[in-house]
Chains A and B, each alone.
Chain A
Amino acid sequence: DAGITQSPRHKVTETGTPVTLRCHQTENHRYMYWYRQDPGHGLRLIHYSYGVKDTDKGEVSDGYSVSRSKTEDFLLTLESATSSQTSVYFCAISNTGSNEQFFGPGTRLTVL
């Protein structure tokens, strides 16, 4: 299994508070991704990174920002959480981009 961890695994927060989710990899993979998963929507890409300090937007990037200051860590920040951001968030890594991605265990975020 690819070495991917996500923290925290569960979080409950209130509307309007900032939240940061962390993805950490030990595989030295070039690409890192943040997805959200909601019933009936499969997985939707939020942001991704193709190298240190290189990031790009996905399908549902509004309200989210990311940072990657070193190869192993990719942070997802919700500047001011809203109830519509209640979801399960998955991090993924890849050395080949869209040929195959390896997913972390997920973070369940509830915004009250």
Chain B
Amino acid sequence: TQLLEQSPQFLSIQEGENLTVYCNSSSVFSSLQWYRQEPGEGPVLLVTVVTGGEVKKLKRLTFQFGDARKDSSLHITAAQPGDTGLYLCAYRYNTDKLIFGTGTRLQVFP
């Protein structure tokens, strides 16, 4: 099982600021998924990136898969309190299983 390291572990910002969180590994992945978990709830899939260099946008969220498919980033523009939560990346270990990263906990203050 390869380790997925996410950074930073914690991030507290003011509403309106921009931020980037990272998901890194030494291994090459066929795809990476990003989930968001709001307080008191289970994670929800945001996006899957498949192709090296791929960029996907979901409103104010921009996801990028590294060219070498070893890392991924999530950029949030003009963060809002509703973006508060735990952001998790995950890779497909095989057709049955996902392996999750350690997570980045984001707090956006009004």
A54 to chain B, nearest CB (A): 10
Q: How far is the CA of A25 from the CA of B93 in the complex (A)?
A: 24
Q: How many residue-residue contacts, CB under 8 A, span A and B? A: 60
Q: What sequence of 0s and 1s flags, for each residue 76-105 of chain A, a beta carbon within 8 Å of any chain B beta carbon?
A: 000000000000001010000111111111
Is there a chain A Cβ closer than 8 Å to B9's Cβ? yes
Interface bin, chain A:
20 to 34
A-binding segment of B58-66, B77-85, B100-108: B100-108
Contacts of A106 in B (CB 8 A): 40-42
- Given A43-B43, A43-B88, A105-B42, answer yes or no on A100-B33 (Cβ-Cβ < 8 Å): yes
Interface residues of A in 32-64 (CB under 8 A from B): 35, 40-45, 48, 50, 56, 58-59
A98-B93, A98-B94 in contact; A105/B101 too (CB < 8 A)? no
Name B residues whose Cβ lies closer than 8 Å to a Cβ of A.
1, 4, 6, 9, 33, 40-45, 48, 88, 90, 92-103
Pick the 9 closest A-B CB pairs, nearest first. Answer: A103-B42, A98-B92, A43-B100, A42-B100, A97-B96, A42-B103, A42-B102, A98-B98, A97-B95
Residues of chain A at the chain B interface (Cβ within 8 Å): 4, 31, 35, 40-45, 48, 50, 56, 58-59, 90, 92, 97-106
